[in-house]
Amino acid sequence: MLTMQGVSKSFLGVRVLHDVGLDLQPGEVHALVGENGAGKSTLMKVLAGEHTPDTGSITLDGTAHTFSHPGQAQAAGIGIIHQEFALLAHRTVAENVFLGREPTRRGLVDRAAMERRTAELLAEIDETGITPRTLVRDLSVARQQTVEIVKALASDVRVLVMDEPTAPLAEHEVALLSALVRRLTARGLGILYISHRLKEVFDLSTRVTVLKDGRHVTTVRTADTTPDDIVRAMVGRDLTAYYPPRARHDEIGEVRLTVTGGGNARLRDIDLTLRAGEVVGIAGLQGAGRTSLARALFGAAPFTTGAMTVGGKPLRPSRPRQAIRAGIALVTEDRKSEGLALRQSVRDNALLVTRAVAVRGRPPAGREVTALLERVRLQSRGEDQQAQFLSGGNQQKVVIAKWLAAGPQVLLFDEPTRGVDVGAKAAIHTLVRELAREGLAVLIISSELPELIGMSDRIHVMSEGRLVGELPAGAGEESIMRLATAGSDRAAGAPGAPREGAA
């Protein structure tokens, strides 16, 4: 029914899809899996006309298509359900389903026809909990998703792309979605199903395609494979980068931060200990709660339950200021909007924390700032240069300098090298290790498994807001991915973390 062949796509000279192919039969659920950034979403956006491929072809029912606009893909019969819904909360279900193509009668919207047709579509998929006149904002997330699906059905789609459809759903809603997916395939729709959760993939799909680093790895019948094989295909790669040596036993010192039973809206049962001199890695898929954990430790989105100690004293920070005073620093994932005041000078950025919070009396004087910027090996055209004109790596160094000025005891890094070029990346890795060696406790969150494995003395794996397992230094990517992709059923029953020898 659908064939994609030789699809390549580059952004600003960087290839994110290399010659990827895929085909889909009517009535089939074809699962698409891969690590964060393997190219799944990009491939689906190419299919849905949101990106135009550089090379490659899309053939639907024997007709070749080149989509340059999502509307064309929709007209050809391709629907996509994004992770974020495109619904108008204050409009009714029927209005949303027919948004932009309302049936008209004598120039006016024919509400009756619109509602009748919506009711028919809802009946076809056995959805009884939604009426055409319900306001979307009054529906649960799962039902809003159903409305999205009905919206796609209303435009006679043949191929439905579902991008992480279960990510926003609760456990019992997942079962309902699975049932809905089966009903849709029974009607002859082909479904491309992107998911991190291998359990669903094995429950639902007929075939699985694995993407890695923008390349097609394999396509197999689900019945002929095992979750372990899929995980291996997802991560199989060589470590090419070199990382500074890990901490020796005698370099790991006193406990700097502990959390017991920490939880909030996004986190549950967090037990964590950070020690001086040690780099602890947090692995997990997108949405596993890694950033929430860092923000909770930093008091930006505080824990609501559980106990925390910092430097041996009980403190559960409820504001960043409290955390900063206690010696916690957070290098955020989003450097541009959360890490830097981009239009301010390097110096003003480096001094921001010490000016805002009297951590060590007065903010450092000019010479100390210069020393600090040399310490992080900043390369700039002077301390007066605006932060926005620095490269990503140097911006990150300014962020680190800003925190070092406050003399922290615990450094939290959320994606420390995202958007950083290779050279600066190595410099940051070296710097992080130096700081640990000087007695700081370091926590690193990274979506790049090689980085995480290369840097960490210990790795915690997160899934669905929990720490589901702890692995020693040098743990393999496969064991990390196995823990990270396990469904919540397995996650809940994994208190004794699997251990494995250094790889």
Site for another protein in 155-214 (CB under 8 A): 194, 211, 213-214
Residue corresponding to tokens 């070029």:
421
Segment 15-34, which members bind another protein (CB under 8 A)?
A: 15-16, 34
Residue 382 lies near another protein (rule: CB under 8 A): yes
Nearer to another protein, 91 or 418 (CB): 418
What is the smallest separation between the CB atom of 477 and another protein, expressed in angstroms? 11
Residue 54 lies near another protein (rule: CB under 8 A): no
Own/partner long-range contacts of 42-46 (Cβ < 8 Å, ≥24 apart): 42/9, 42/16, 42/17, 42/214, 43/4, 43/7, 43/17, 43/211, 44/80, 44/161, 44/163, 44/192, 44/194, 46/4, 46/7, 46/9, 46/17
Distance from CA of residue 188 to its chain's centroid? Answer: 32
Residue 351 lies near another protein (rule: CB under 8 A): yes
Nearer to another protein, 150 or 285 (CB): 285
Whole-number Å distance between alpha carbons of 409 and 457: 17
Interface with another protein: number of residues (CB under 8 A): 86
Segment 236-265, which members bind another protein (CB under 8 A)?
A: 237-241
Distance from CA of residue 175 to its chain's centroid? Answer: 23
Residue 373 lies near another protein (rule: CB under 8 A): yes
Nearer to another protein, 392 or 439 (CB): 392
- Helix locations, 238-345, DSSP H: 290-297, 320-325
Cα dihedral value 49, 54, 59, 60, nearest 10: -10
What is the smallest separation between the CB atom of 170 and another protein, expressed in angstroms? 22
Segment 406-425, which members bind another protein (CB under 8 A)?
A: 417-425
Contacts of 36 (CB under 8 A, 6+ apart): 285, 286, 447
Segment 386-405, which members bind another protein (CB under 8 A)?
A: 388-395, 402
Residues in the chain: 503
Segment 331-350, which members bind another protein (CB under 8 A)?
A: 332, 336-346, 348-349
Q: Which three-class secondary structure state does DSSP give residue 486?
A: coil
Please identify which residue in 450, 472, 474, 476 interacts with another protein, judged by CB under 8 A. 450
Nearer to another protein, 146 or 205 (CB): 205
What is the smallest separation between the CB atom of 162 and another protein, expressed in angstroms? 13
What is the smallest separation between the CB atom of 211 and another protein, expressed in angstroms? 8
Residue 283 lies near another protein (rule: CB under 8 A): no
Other C-beta atoms closer than 10 Å to the C-beta of 494 total: 17
Q: Are strands 458-463 and 466-472 parallel, antiparallel or unpaired?
A: antiparallel
Whole-number Å distance between alpha carbons of 281 and 9: 32
Segment 71-130, which members bind another protein (CB under 8 A)?
A: none
Residue 42 lies near another protein (rule: CB under 8 A): yes
